Amino acid sequence: MSEIKLLLVDDQELFSESLQILLERDSILNVVGLAKDGKEAVNFCHKHPPHMILMDINMPNMNGIEATRIIKELDNEIKIIILTTFKDIHLMVDAMKAGAEGYLLKAIHSQDLIDGIKLVFRGGTLITQGMAKSLVEKLAPSTSKPSEYTNSLVHETTDLHHSKGKAKNTYSLSSREYEVLYSLSKGLKNREIAEKLFLSEGTVRNYISSIYSKLDVKDRMQATQKAFNEDII
């Protein structure tokens, strides 16, 4: 397989930089650019079209779905995988309609992501097994064997629920803080959370401190208890 030129699009620079280091451990993956939002991604593709893009959804200036639509109109040969924290069937459908070839969660195992990039580069389409099942159940709830339709490369590795109720508005947790809080509730250690979310342990500790402050708690047990008691996760 020849070199795959990748553009990473995410408003969290630390995530993009960490992901670049991880991906370039594979000899054929070459990250040729980092963009902070959809507009930067579109401009980059005008000048230096990559083979593939890993695109976040929730970004300032222009979101990932709109950027996907514009880029695919510009050059349909550029393949796009949405890489997001949002496990949302409607977002996934919108992304695929916009032209994306894949929709994956950021909690995916690193080797699965690398394998997925190569699969899409070869012409495949990729979504997590969990989201494929949810989509099949939504479209055909009477289907007794959804697995016939959901044979995919990557297995779902998280079931993060972003609460849209009062608790979220009250505590103003960011999407990343929800991810960390969810991981805490699963009993993961800082090192494990860092590996799972492509963060440094220091960054994880900073997020945990922010979560404690916003929830007005002192430790993991209190944070987890409050998260479940108030339907935050």
**Which among 149, 180, 212 is the end of a domain?**
149
Phi first, then psi, for residue 37 (nearest 5°) are: -160, 180
50 found inside a domain:
yes
| pLDDT tens per residue across span 51-86 | 999 999 999 999 999 999 999 999 999 999 999 988
User: Average pLDDT for residues 108-113, to the nearest whole number?
Assistant: 88
139 found inside a domain:
yes
What's the angle, vertex CA 105, arms to CA 164 and CA 71, rounded to 5?
Answer: 100
CATH at residue 177: 1.10.10.10
**Which among 123, 149, 175 is the end of a domain?**
149
Sorting pLDDT into bands at 50, 70 and 90, what band is 125?
Answer: confident
DSSP state of 5: E
Same structural domain for residues 101 and 197?
A: no
Sorting pLDDT into bands at 50, 70 and 90, what band is 113?
Answer: very high
| pLDDT tens per residue across span 126-156 | 887 777 777 777 666 544 444 443 343 333 3
Same structural domain for residues 117 and 48?
A: yes
Domain that holds residue 28: 4-149
Same structural domain for residues 65 and 177?
A: no
User: What is the share, in percent, of the chain residues with pLDDT greater than 90?
Assistant: 48
**Which among 149, 184, 210 is the end of a domain?**
149
Q: What is the pLDDT of residue 160?
A: 40
DSSP string, 28-71: TEEEEEEESSHHHHHHHHHHS--SEEEE-SS-SSS-HHHHHHHH
Same structural domain for residues 62 and 9?
A: yes
